[in-house]
Structure 1
Amino acid sequence: MSGSNLSNPGLLLDPKEPHSLALLQLLDSSCEGSLLVDKDCRIRWISNKYRQLLELADDFDPYGLEAEALIPNSLMRQVIDTGQPQLLDLMRFRQHWLVVTRLPLRDQDGNISGALGLVFFDKLAQLRPVVDKYSRLQLPNVQSDNPPSQTRYSFADLIGSSPAMLALRQQALRVAPLDSTVLLLGETGTGKELVAQAIHHASARAEAPFVSINTAALPESLIEAELFGAEAGAYTGADPKGRIGKFEQAQSGTLFLDEIGEMSTMAQSKLLRALQERQIERLGGNRVIDVDVRVIAATSRNLEQLVAEGTFRPDLYYRLNVLPLELPPLRERPEDIPALLQAIGQHLAEQLGVAELQPHNWLHRALAAYHWPGNIRELRNVIERLLLFAEQGEVSPRLLSNFLPGSSQTLLKSNDSASANTDTPPLEQQMARAEREAIRHALRHCDNNRSQAARELGISRASLYEKMRKHQL
């Protein structure tokens, strides 16, 4: 489907109008996909090329969905909010980098009515000479024995559809293209580094380094050298060649400062100066080094309380608290637990070489009833232990109770009868499990070639996509 039979009031380009549709098709013929959204960033038209690029099933109609629901890294909303075009940008979708252009649309009165996105796919090689030349001109020649790490996560890895997670994803997508400092607030284990990496991944600095440092894990005597570097012989035991600090490693990229609330007051003052002046000096040196780094800080502490207690500098707090984002604890979004259980369980099962956990409603209820003081990190630990001890992926309430300290024994006991069904699951569940395994086997056998897998399974490609969505593959 390349459009909808519904009209698009307020849009200057209306796919229902022949002239508008002809223009959209002409634009689409010059690129690898096009997308039209209204002023609320809801999809009003998508080209067939873009559907194929996103691997949408033939019978799936995205009309009315928010753009971020279809493309997690979409910046169409930013174009609508600012009214500014993005003439050339890079957007990552799965394993591919897309060259994209985003244009705001206005109605007859000049008001923003939507946005048009054009995708130039697989044209990145043509830009490589320009990008390489720009990088050589702009990036400092920094040599390091420990090259900076790159991001592993994007917004697609933020699992959950609860109101709290949808709000977080939307807020993070809004701040990602900006260059201001971000402060991530949340309990331990809520995924602050994942969010930091996703923001970097969706920013204009995505091609530059993402450097992370846990300030709480370093003694006060070393944190200055870690952040700003040290000249040769700056202190006893220092590297005879000197060392490059995290600020220099993150040049033109993003520096993630985790557990910022644990930093000593002396280190706080030096960090404040670096943020204000955008300059650093290596330990034991007197040369001023300009740095272009976006800082994302994170803490599980209450910084306002630390400021009141005098253990955290108020001027540094205000410098960091420009774009605060609150990460919800797991206990406040229990509806996300089934999706987290499946995603984390599938990933760990592949790593461990064991059978995936079999889904049960009682298991979801039991996990949702737990308060999760360690949040996602604790959930991952519990899932890993269940995978190691479960028989062919089957979990009993008694086994679960061994790994959830203080969990609701009443709930577990009330579901003892459910464990009796684990030996012989209902027929519908067994058939669904067999279908899911057959699809996974076919995809593995065909090296993830979905057209070939569909032929081996004896079904259409559209049916394969529908079944993959059904089983969340």
Structure 2
Amino acid sequence: MHDDSLPRDGQRILELAARSMFDLFANASEGMMLVDRDERVVWINEQYKRFLPALGFDRVEDFLGHPVSQVVHNTLMDRVIRTGKPILIDLLSNRAGTFVVSRIPLRDEGGQVIGALGIVLFDHPETTLQPLIQKFAHLQRDLDDARRELATQRRSKYTLGSFLGSSPAAVEVKRQARRAAGSSSPVLLLGETGTGKELLAHAIHAGSSRAGGAFVSINIAAVPDTLLEAEFFGVAPGAYTGADRKGRDGKFKLADGGTLFLDEIGDMPPSLQPKLLRALQEGEIEPLGSNKVVPFDARVIAATSRDLAALVREGRFREDLYYRLNVLPIRVPPLRERRADIPALVEALGEDMALRNGTPPPELSAEAMALLAAQYWPGNIRELRNVLEQAAMRSESQRIEAASLEQVLRDAGVESIAPASVTAVPSLPQPASDSRRLRPLAEQVAEVEHAAIAAALAATGGNKLAAARLLGISRAKLYERLAAPVLYENQSIA
């Protein structure tokens, strides 16, 4: 070490200080090594020698002279020599144990790196540095938990298989959703509240090329107008009093690389509609309080229970924004247009209720199921679930009868309750007489299958592929059923 700016006495003191520091570390540390500019180990002190057996060396001579990366696993001494940058504190783990180490480059008078000094500050850090390591481990666990929770929240929860139903209306919605998943254009989901628009948005994302990205949603009706701009576009650091000093990303940026779901788009305030339109057209946003634009790449799916076309005619929704969103419109049918799906929906809702409450799923009588199928359901599937939950809570047994459901409907304020009829559910067979039941089970099952296939073919005009989709079976399975011998009399499939 030499510094021409110092007087001779000062230079002498600097050299003595450097030597004293070296001697101090050599004696007080748990071990030291020197590596030359060719990354070879040239010296170790006495303390370091005790690590050699664990590293696989019986003699010091076998250790010295070798490249440090070959004799000390996981070392970064070679990197320090190549970069000339020190690593002051680090954890090193290898066959000899876990150590707190420091690595310092050594330079000649011209400033060139001629080697590196490695110092083992502590061995067994799990005891000597226990408080620090515990704190670090606790923070790391919290960070990992937060990352997992965030990933779970922004992962798609549903697929198209989650949209239950085999009625023609349900089959058509799923067909359109599959086509939308294969496109990158905006999707507009139209339908009454409670029909499953958010579920379909998740499903479209899950089936798209962006499935690995985030699914970020925002319910526009649930956010005050004054906060929507910040929610959409984010906030620049210190944009206003009380704003986060680090700023905050908006939903558009969070959805970068994935899908942004704009629920209840019909409630978008007019003042924000031009900014939303510009973001969709330009693929960039301007955070609140910033004069810089930020690019984003997110596929937009919007949904509304309102009549957007009527809002456009009334001047309450921008026409150009409407056309920008209405590229791939999908109408989600209300429950009253897919009554044949009610038994499957009731079964799925009942199983979900059972999992949440830790109880067996409810069972419905044929009359109770028919009563459900006969209702108008203005609240759709959300209302159906509410009625089922109330009926299950009030019922003294696992079985729910029509009278119990009718009372729940009356208490909910339904003015006109449609009468129960077992013919209200197309997929529900009529109860057979006792004499008809006294036949082989295979014959009765074949009869029900035969009737279902005949109804599906009639509904699809004889299109076997469409009929198979309607029945939820493959075309090959349909042909197999058609070719099976008839086990009962007076039945034929035209």
Return the alpha-carbon distance in structure 2 between the equivalents of residues 233 and 217 of structure 1: 25
Q: Distance in 1 between matches of 2:338 and 2:183?
A: 28
Query: Against the structure 1 CA distance between its residues 409 and 193, is the aligned structure 2 distance closer, same or farther, given a 3 Å change threshold?
Result: closer
Residue 280 (structure 2) pairs with residue 313 (structure 1): no
Give the whole-Å Cα distance in 1 for the aligned partners of 2:343 and 2:244. Answer: 49
SS of residue in 2 equivalent to 1:384: helix
Out of 259, 267, 272, the position equivalent to 2:277 is 272
Letter in 2 for 1:411: P
Partner AA of 1:195 in structure 2: L
What corresponds to 1:355 in structure 2? Answer: 360
Matched length: 276
Residue 392 of structure 1 aligns to a residue in which SS? coil
Aligned to 1:157: 162
Match of 2:220 in 1: 215
1:236 aligns with 2:241: yes
What is the rounded CA distance, in whole Å, between the counterparts of 2:417 and 2:317 in structure 1?
42
What is the rounded CA distance, in whole Å, between the counterparts of 2:282 and 2:148 in structure 1?
A: 24
Specify which of 182, 195, 198 is matched with residue 190 of structure 1: 195
Q: What are the Cα deviations for residues 379-424 of structure 1, in whole angstroms up to 9, with x where unaligned?
A: 1111122222223311122211222143765735999xxxxxxxxx
Shift of 1:211: 0.3
CA distance in 2, matches of 1:410, 1:237: 55
For residue 207 of structure 2, the aligned residue among 191, 195, 202 is: 202
**Per-residue Cα deviation, 1:306-342 (whole angstroms, up to 9, x for no partner):** 0010000000000000000000000111111000000
- The residue type equivalent to 2:184 in the other structure is D
Contact conserved, 1:330 with 1:375, CA < 8 A, in 2?
yes
For the residues of structure 2 that align with 1:163 and 1:146, how far apart are their CA atoms?
Answer: 37
Aligned residue for 2:138? Answer: none
1:397 matched residue in structure 2: 402
Runs of 4+ in 1 over 4 A off after TM superposition: 143-148, 407-410, 412-415
Counterpart for residue 419 of structure 2: 411
**Structure 1 partner of 2:268:** 263
Q: Does residue 300 of structure 1 match 2:308?
A: no
Equivalent of residue 246 in structure 1, options 251, 260, 273: 251
> What SS does the corresponding residue of 2:400 show, helix, strand or coil?
coil
Conserved 8 A contact 2:237-2:246: yes
Contact 1:190/1:376 (<8 A) preserved: yes
* In structure 2, distance between residues paired with 1:410 and 1:204: 45
Q: Report matched runs for 1:112-151 at 5 Å.
A: 149-151=154-156
Give the root-mean-square deviation of aligned CA atoms.
2.4
Query: How many angstroms apart in 1 are the aligned matches of 2:165 and 2:214?
Result: 27
**What displacement does 1:353 show?**
1.5
Work out the CA distance in 1 between the residues paired with 2:288 and 2:177: 35
Q: Which string of whole-angstrom CA distances, capped at 9 and with x for unpartnered residues, describes residues 336-381 of structure 1?
A: 1000000111111121122211132211110011111100111111
Q: Which residue of 1 aligns with 2:453?
A: none
Matched, 1:169 2:174: yes
| TM-score (ref. length: structure 1) | 0.56
Contact 2:374 2:418 in 1 (8 A): no
Question: 387, 390, 413: which is aligned to 2:392?
Answer: 387
Secondary structure of 2:217's aligned partner: strand
Partner of 2:334: 329
Q: Distance in 2 between matches of 1:145 and 1:286?
A: 33
Which deviations, in whole Å up to 9, do the C-alpha atoms of 1:25-70 show, x marking residues without a partner?
A: xxxxxxxxxxxxxxxxxxxxxxxxxxxxxxxxxxxxxxxxxxxxxx
Q: Residues 97-116 of structure 1: matches in 2 within 5 Å? A: none
Q: Which residue of 2 aligns with 1:90?
A: none
The aligned runs of 1:52-63 (5 Å cut-off) are none
Letter in 2 for 1:397: A
Pick closer, same or farther for the CA change 1:307–1:399 going to 2, 3 Å: same
Match of 1:80 in 2: none
**Are the aligned partners of 1:190 and 1:377 in contact in 2 as well (CA < 8 Å)?**
yes
Please say if residues 370 and 407 of structure 1, whose CA atoms lie closer than 8 Å, have aligned partners that are also in contact: no
Partner of residue 292 from structure 2, selected from 287, 291, 300: 287
Matched residue, 1:365? 370
Q: Is the 8 A contact 1:354 1:387 kept in 2?
A: no
Say whether the 8 Å CA contact 1:370–1:404 is kept in structure 2: no
Code of the aligned partner of 1:180 = S
Distance in 1, matches of 2:369 and 2:260, equals: 37
CA separation in 2, counterparts of 1:145 and 1:156? Answer: 24
Q: Note if contact 1:230-1:282 (Cα within 8 Å) is conserved in structure 2.
A: yes
The answer as to whether partners of 2:351 and 2:361 remain within 8 angstroms in 1 is yes
- Aligned twin of 2:87: none
Conserved in 2, the CA contact under 8 Å of 1:144 and 1:244? Answer: no
Which residue does the alignment assign to 2:60?
none
Unaligned runs of 5+ residues in structure 1 are 1-142, 416-425, 433-473
Task: Give the AA of the match of 2:236.
Answer: E
Question: Within 1, Cα distance between the matches of 2:339 and 2:193?
Answer: 17
What's the secondary structure of 1:234's corresponding residue? coil
- Distance change in 2, residues 1:144/1:219 (3 Å): farther
Structure 2: any 5+ residue segments left out of the alignment? 1-146, 424-433, 442-494
SS of residue paired to 2:399: coil
- Contact 1:216–1:259 (8 Å) recurs in 2: yes
Deviation at 1:195, TM superposition (A): 0.1
Partners of 1:254 and 1:330 lie apart in 2 by 27
The separation in 1 between residues aligned to 2:168 and 2:407, in whole angstroms, is 31
Secondary structure at the residue paired with 1:403? helix
Cα separation, 2, equivalents of 1:232 and 1:144: 27
Distance 1:199 1:346 in 2: 24
Task: Verify the 8 A CA contact 2:225 2:269 in the aligned structure 1.
Answer: yes
The secondary structure found in structure 1 opposite 2:213 is coil
- % identical aligned pairs: 52
Alignment correspondent of 1:375: 380
Question: How far apart in 1 are the matches of 2:421 and 2:345?
Answer: 24
Larger Rg: 1 or 2?
2
